[in-house]
Amino acid sequence: MTPDSIRRIGILTGGGDCPGLNAVIRAVAKTAMLQFGIEVFGIEDGFQGLIENRVRPLTFRDVSGILTRGGTILGSNNRCNPRRYCTSTAADGTPIFSDVTQLCLATIRDRRLDAVIVIGGDGTMSCAAPLVEAGINVIGIPKTIDNDLFGTEITFGFLTAVATATEALDRLHSTADSHHRVMVCEVMGRNAGWIALTAGVASGSDMILIPEIPYDEDAIGQYIRQRMDSGPGFAIVVIAEGATMRGGSQVISRIDPTSPDPIRLGGIGQQVANTISQRTKAEVRTTVLGHVLRGGMPVAADRILATHFGYHAVSTLMSGATGRLVVRENNIFSDVDLLVCAGKQRLVPTQHTLITAARAIGTSFGDDGTHQSHAPRPTTDV
């Protein structure tokens, strides 16, 4: 299909929501309408809407005034993978899965969509892969608070999550100081520690525990004792939900068998709090920020990033490219093969400069300071 023949495009938002989704929808739709006279259609609830043919036209008015709004006007879904879709359950409650890619293709045909803009993380890009393989014009836009999508140095939503976590950590700081307590704060991020690392540094947290650097209980105990006994007498620990003890495994809060990524993490913060209580005399409290990080208005930097990504997605499409993911690398916007990035995670390199800088100012990573790099791991999460 030549760029000239692209007259109607669909947009969907997949996976867990994040601040900035509406800002991207706005940027895609306005660029398409104003620059190319393209009709824009919103696909509801991610791939669910594509499977169920729930698609509605978006007017200029629909996408005006939504730049600052949290969530997504289209709805999203992180329990829906067309290639492995739960169609029914067996008598014992076991889900039965089918490949319903053909239903998605039928919706695209029925709605005469010449291209689909897919806004999501690594799992959503995996869900989009069969559409690309079937010859559909797909352009991906990287979204997730976790900032873990392979191929791009940043995803929108991340900076807002970091700002929210930083504010929460700042608030914990003053109450920790008043009561001479240790505050453990668990943040989201799945298998990546980007949120914990970045908010931890921004808030001046004393200890940052991330999945990429497994912690040692003795090292944690020793550091906290020293801070309580001969330091300021309080401590802030920020921990990523995917963090693990050296030789241990991640703490799972819930398993949803119908979800493409059935595992939901959560609970490691309380475990570390227990460890600190057992190994020190400190009074410890735990806070779990959870979905608070996904809600609310995007910060200015995310609105700007979202606008750039939305514009680049339409420009990439209209340049004749297909099956591409728009990315930012070394501060430059470009695009890469979507199929190469689908399903891959970008973890924090253990030699990251922010880790080096944090260590230099005395921040503990709950280890002895030596660590190995991790390669990106495949996942099926959406």
- How many helices (H) and strands (E) the chain has is answered by 11, 15
For the bound state, the minimum distance from the C-beta of residue 381 to ligand F6P, rounded and expressed in Å, comes to: 7
For the bound state, the minimum distance from the C-beta of residue 158 to ligand F6P, rounded and expressed in Å, comes to: 10
> Please, which of residues 34-93 interact with ligand F6P by CB under 6 A?
78
Residue nearest ligand F6P (C-beta atom): 188
Contacts 24+ apart (CB under 8 A), 221-229: 221/275, 221/276, 221/279, 221/280, 223/364, 223/366, 224/182, 224/276, 224/279, 224/280, 224/282, 225/279, 225/280, 228/180, 228/182, 228/280, 228/281, 228/282
User: Measured between alpha carbons, how far is 231 from 246 in angstroms, rounded to an integer?
Assistant: 26
Stretch that binds ligand F6P, among 44-52, 144-152, 320-328, 340-348 (CB under 6 A): 144-152
> Please, which of residues 215-254 interact with ligand F6P by CB under 6 A?
241
For the bound state, the minimum distance from the C-beta of residue 84 to ligand F6P, rounded and expressed in Å, comes to: 16
115, 183, 237, 265: residue in contact with ligand F6P (rule CB under 6 A): 265
Residue 14 interacting with ligand F6P (CB under 6 A): no
For the bound state, the minimum distance from the C-beta of residue 163 to ligand F6P, rounded and expressed in Å, comes to: 16
Residue 294 interacting with ligand F6P (CB under 6 A): yes
Contacts 24+ apart (CB under 8 A), 261-265: 261/78, 261/123, 261/379, 261/380, 261/381, 261/382, 265/190, 265/241
Nearer CB in complex with ligand F6P: 259/316: 259
CA angle in degrees (0–180, nearest 5) for 114-378-313: 30
Stretch that binds ligand F6P, among 142-150, 207-215, 220-228, 321-329 (CB under 6 A): 142-150
Type of residue found at 60: F
Residue 139 interacting with ligand F6P (CB under 6 A): no
DSSP string, 56-90: EEE-TTTTSS-TT--S-TT---SS--GGGEEEEE-
Nearer CB in complex with ligand F6P: 3/295: 295
Nearer CB in complex with ligand F6P: 323/343: 343
146 is catalytic: yes
DSSP string, 168-224: HHHHHHHHHHHHTEEEEEEE--TT--HHHHHHHHHHT-SEEE-TTS-B-HHHHHHHH
Query: 146, 261, 335, 381: which is the annotated catalytic residue?
Result: 146
For the bound state, the minimum distance from the C-beta of residue 78 to ligand F6P, rounded and expressed in Å, comes to: 5
Residue 188 interacting with ligand F6P (CB under 6 A): yes
- Rounded to whole angstroms, what are the CA distances from 6 to 36, 57, 128, 321? 9, 16, 19, 12
Residue 16 interacting with ligand F6P (CB under 6 A): yes
83, 264, 279, 359: residue in contact with ligand F6P (rule CB under 6 A): 264
DSSP 8-state class, residue 258: T
Residue 346 interacting with ligand F6P (CB under 6 A): no
145, 235, 243, 318: residue in contact with ligand F6P (rule CB under 6 A): 145
Nearer CB in complex with ligand F6P: 233/267: 267
Query: Which residues have a catalytic role annotated?
Result: 146
Q: Which residues bind ligand F6P (CB under 6 A)?
A: 16, 78, 144-146, 188-190, 241, 264-265, 294
